[in-house]
Chains A and B, each alone.
Chain A
Amino acid sequence: MSGPGVGWYLVIAAILFGIGALGVMLRRSPLVVLLSLEIMLNAANLTLIAFARQHGNLDGQVFALAVMAVAASEVAIGLGLIVAMARRRVALDVDQANALRG
């Protein structure tokens, strides 16, 4: 494989995961928390694909495809929840949304 080795991709994935984790813990808007979650999932995907390339084994890519499907479902549910929160006039702030009562 010409160009950078697999280790360089893993470093990028680790930094991306850290950025995503920071966003999930720091931000208050549930929308941005969801976006940061997407960054974390994609960092994991990059790791899976890098190791699939390293070992010449396609199982990692299949797993990454399944992760993509789960991430899409997660966004659908999360956005549904956010819209439901907005309809019920609940403040869109994860620090205030700490009760599950409807």
Chain B
Amino acid sequence: MGNFLVWVIWFVAAGACLGTGVAVVSLTNPFYSALALIGNLASLAVLFLLLSAEFLAAAQVLVYAGAVMVMFLFVVAYLGGRADAPWAGGSPLLRTAAVVAATALLVEIVVVLGLAWGDELSDPADVSDSFGSPEEVGEIFLTDHLLAFEITSIVLLVAAVGGVVLGTTREKGADDS
């Protein structure tokens, strides 16, 4: 019974995930695209939960669906009508090539994954209940991957400073005094 319930949740989350993904790419209004991406990230968080990655699911909702998407929606609102670009560009040949390239990428990923791990994926490892909890992830992050943690913090700092520098305008002649 519990097994059936997990399948139902998986189907709903995966369907929502793919549907909102298609919506992000196909909608003409960037505002609706951004809203669809919020749904995409939320349904991905459900999939993360099913894979017993509780901390990452929470971080996904907080960082992505919360902070990043609010920033996105602010910029879309700030740009207003100027954000509307034509749906797709280039010649019909280029567009066909883009679709072919994306399909080829998808087929490649599926074939490579299937060839390399198709046999082993049927029986996942047994994990304890605390797998993916903030304690365990935090412990590994701050011991085995301490260097990655520090570099991540520097990347975030540089990005924040860069965002401010890019966003400020210097009025010519205003700071001559």
Contact = CB atoms under 8 A, between A and B. Distances in A.
Question: Which of the four size classes fits the interface of chain B?
Answer: 35 or more
Interface residues of A, number: 76
A80 B162 CA distance: 8
Contacts of A73: 155-156, 158-160
A11 B109 CA distance: 9
B173 interface: no
B102 A21 contact: yes
Given A42-B44, A64-B53, A80-B164, 5 more contacts: A2-B2, A58-B132, A68-B59, A70-B152, A83-B166
B78 A83 contact: yes
Interface of B: 2-3, 6-7, 9-10, 14, 17-18, 21-22, 24-25, 30, 33-34, 37, 40-41, 44, 47-48, 50-53, 55-56, 59-60, 63-64, 67-68, 71-72, 75-76, 78-79, 82-90, 95, 98-99, 101-103, 105-106, 109-110, 113, 117-118, 120-122, 124-127, 131-132, 136-137, 140-141, 144-145, 148, 152, 155-156, 158-160, 162-167, 169
Contact of B30 (A25, A32, A62, A76): A32
What 4 pairs between A and B have smallest CB-CB spacing?
Answer: A3-B6, A73-B159, A56-B125, A80-B166
